[in-house]
Amino acid sequence: MRLGGSLARRRGGRKPKKAGSSKAAPAKKKRAPKAPGEGGGWGRFGGILLGLIAGGWLVGYVVSTQFVFPAPPPTGDMYEVPDLRGLGMASARERLADSDLALGAIDSLLHPSISQSLIVGQSPLPGQLAMPQTEVRITFSMGPQLRTVPDVTRLAEDRARIVLETSGFLVSTDTTESELPRGRVVESMPAADTLLPLPAEIVLMVSTGPPMVPMPFVLGLEEAEAVQLLDSLGLVVSEVAEVFRFGRDRGIVVEQEPAADTELERGTEVQLSIGRRGGQREP
């Protein structure tokens, strides 16, 4: 038995390498690139599929644009729509004819400030482009609505205002002295039954009551002179009494009722007292 063999068995069964017996591991061989067309039929199938998709899209585009949704024919000349607002019917027809356009439907409406028979609107709007002989729809004014002024004289101010405002008028008020009671309408301006375009303003003249006059100072005047003065102011002497004055102030006004400077309505009654004319009062 060899000594080397027993040592090898004790160290795990390793056999001693013989000198000169070691060889390098063979190198791995590199695969050569595949030539085009090699690798199965998937490459050829993918190319055919892509070609079919592209061809189908092209055919669909041609069919949709040429037959299903064809492009509109060339528009030719386009004309700018003229501004017809403020024109009469005859002038509008001439202007449309000059632009190779036609007059379409005609509407009308009441307008508070534009005169009758003048155009207030149109469609298409001014400045838009339109094909030859396109119809232009217009709306002309029938002018303002006309209404007569109702008679509200002698009515209370608030009732007169309601009547006028519900008729479409605007109302303002002023005051004046009048024999009518305070707050009653004396007159309207313009007067009742006047035909006016709406909206129009009506001015109501409202009474402040009968005119007031101050009671004059008539003490010391002769009876006839005092009566004449009071009558000129619209006051009525309803009673003339005589009083004993010890022979003084005979025929002279010595008392008055109401007192001087009292504000009175015309037609108010006043009383005077004068000195007795004789030595004794007649029975």
Second-level CATH architecture of 79-141: 2-Layer Sandwich (3.30)
Please state, in angstroms and as integers, the Cα–Cα distance from residue 176 to each residue in 73, 99, 144, 183, following that order: 78, 62, 32, 10
d(CA 198, CA 111): 9
C-alpha angle with apex 186: 180 to 190, nearest 5 degrees?
175
Counting Cα atoms < 13 Å in the Cβ hemisphere of 171 gives: 22
Please state, in angstroms and as integers, the Cα–Cα distance from residue 149 to each residue in 57, 190, 195, 203, 238, following that order: 78, 8, 7, 11, 44
d(CA 158, CA 184): 9
Class of domain 146-207: alpha beta
- Looking at residue 122, its pLDDT comes to 94
Comma-separated ranges of CATH 3.30.10.20 domains in the chain? 79-141, 146-207, 212-275
For 70-134, list the strands marked E by DSSP: 79-80, 102-109, 119-123, 129-130
Report the percent of the chain where pLDDT is more than 70. Answer: 78
- Structure token pair of residue 51: 């070609």
Q: Are 251 and 275 in contact (CB under 8 A)?
A: yes
Q: Are 101 and 134 in contact (CB under 8 A)?
A: yes
State the chain's mean pLDDT as an integer: 81
Task: Provide the CATH topology of domain 212-275.
Answer: Trypsin Inhibitor V; Chain A (3.30.10)
- Looking at residue 24, its pLDDT comes to 47
d(CA 127, CA 140): 19
For residue 36, whether the previous peptide bond is cis, meaning omega lies within 30 degrees of 0, is no
Instruction: State the pLDDT confidence band at 278, using cuts at 50, 70 and 90.
Output: low
d(CA 258, CA 240): 13
> Would the pLDDT of 28 be above 90?
no
Query: Which residue, chain included where needed, has tokens 């009566």?
Result: 227
- Looking at residue 5, its pLDDT comes to 52
Instruction: State the pLDDT confidence band at 19, using cuts at 50, 70 and 90.
Output: very low
- Looking at residue 73, its pLDDT comes to 57
Instruction: State the pLDDT confidence band at 64, using cuts at 50, 70 and 90.
Output: confident
Three-state SS at 133: coil
Report the percent of the chain where pLDDT is more than 90. Answer: 47
Instruction: State the pLDDT confidence band at 60, using cuts at 50, 70 and 90.
Output: confident
> Would the pLDDT of 189 be above 60?
yes
Residue 231 belongs to what H/E stretch?
Answer: helix 223-232
Burial class (CB in 10 A: 0-12, 13-18, 19+), 138: buried
